[in-house]
Amino acid sequence: MSGRWWRAACLAAAVCVASTPGALAEDVAAVAPKSTDGVLFETSARLRLGWTEIAFRGNRPKAWDATTTPELRASLRILEGLLEAKIEIGAWADHFAHFDSTDVNALRGDAQLGINSGTWSYLLEYKIREIFEPGYDAFVADLETYDLRIRKRFAASLFAGAPAGLFQATFAAGYTAATPRFGARNFAEFEIELVQRLDSGITLTLAPKLELADYINFPADRQDATLSLRIIPAYNFAGGLTLSLEGQATVAISTLENKTGEIWSLTPIMKFQKAW
């Protein structure tokens, strides 16, 4: 079953990337011109308010619960000729309203290195997630992800009289190593992100995503298909400050009944960017 999912994911991604709508050359260049060599620093504070049906780790029965997740992130992105590199660090904490025995604190680190031609990016990516019980006193899990990420940027007009919408189609495939080992998985994902400017300083982002995962060391046969949609209205203030509200709906379908469920969330985000 996992082999069929893997082949289907790669085929779907290839078709979607190859058949993206055409755009004027000047519009495409406006998405990520090659002349934008420089450094971008970004930091953000987030507070995710969620309602989840798949709250538990391991193979325990599922249950509904409300969650609160504060998070801080900081990243540095470098564009120099064809080189693209990025490093990001962050920390977050999951707090459950009723099942507080599953609360965790976590640290994250992401690194990307690859080629950026202006409208295409080819990136090797490494991610690490260190998860602890609250207070970072007791280790819960370690996740290390290795993947290849391919991005295509383009512009297309969706509404008469409105500025062109900026699209980014992303396909990624890779492997996650885990401690405990039952979290290890092969995965493939495809996402299309649209950013549409509505008015001076106001943008709307829509981002549907499909992810397929095969948990190769799980105690039972487990393959998941996860569909999600993010909707993000945002207002850009002067000086690189952005305030946004991210709404996300996620539906997971699994070969295991207790891993099939829904997650709904709202996340206010305050973001600051500085470019050199």
Concatenating the DSSP letter of every residue in 27-92 gives: HHHHHS-TT--EEEEEEEEEEEEEEES---STTPPP--EEEEEEEEEEEEEEEETTEEEEEEEEEE
Q: Which residue has the higher pLDDT, 55 or 256?
A: 256
* pLDDT band for position 63 (cuts 50, 70, 90): confident
Q: What is the mean pLDDT of residues 109-135?
A: 96
Q: Residue 135's pLDDT is what? A: 86
Q: Are strands 222-236 and 261-275 parallel, antiparallel or unpaired?
A: unpaired
The architecture that CATH gives domain 2-21+37-275 is Beta Barrel (2.40)
pLDDT at 226 over 80: yes
Q: Given this model, what pLDDT does residue 267 score? A: 98
Q: What is the pTM of this model?
A: 0.83
Q: What is the dihedral of CA 71, 213, 144, 10, to 10 degrees?
A: -110
Backbone angles phi, psi at 117, to 5 degrees: -95, 0
| Domain ranges within the chain, ordered by starting residue | 2-21+37-275
The pLDDT confidence band at residue 62, using thresholds 50, 70 and 90, is confident
Percent of the chain exceeding pLDDT 70 equals: 86
Convert the pLDDT of each residue in 65-119 to its tens digit. Answer: 999 999 999 999 999 999 999 999 999 999 999 988 889 999 999 999 999 998 9
pLDDT at 58: 66
Q: What percent of the chain has pLDDT over 90?
A: 72
Question: Is residue 49 scored above 80 in pLDDT?
Answer: yes
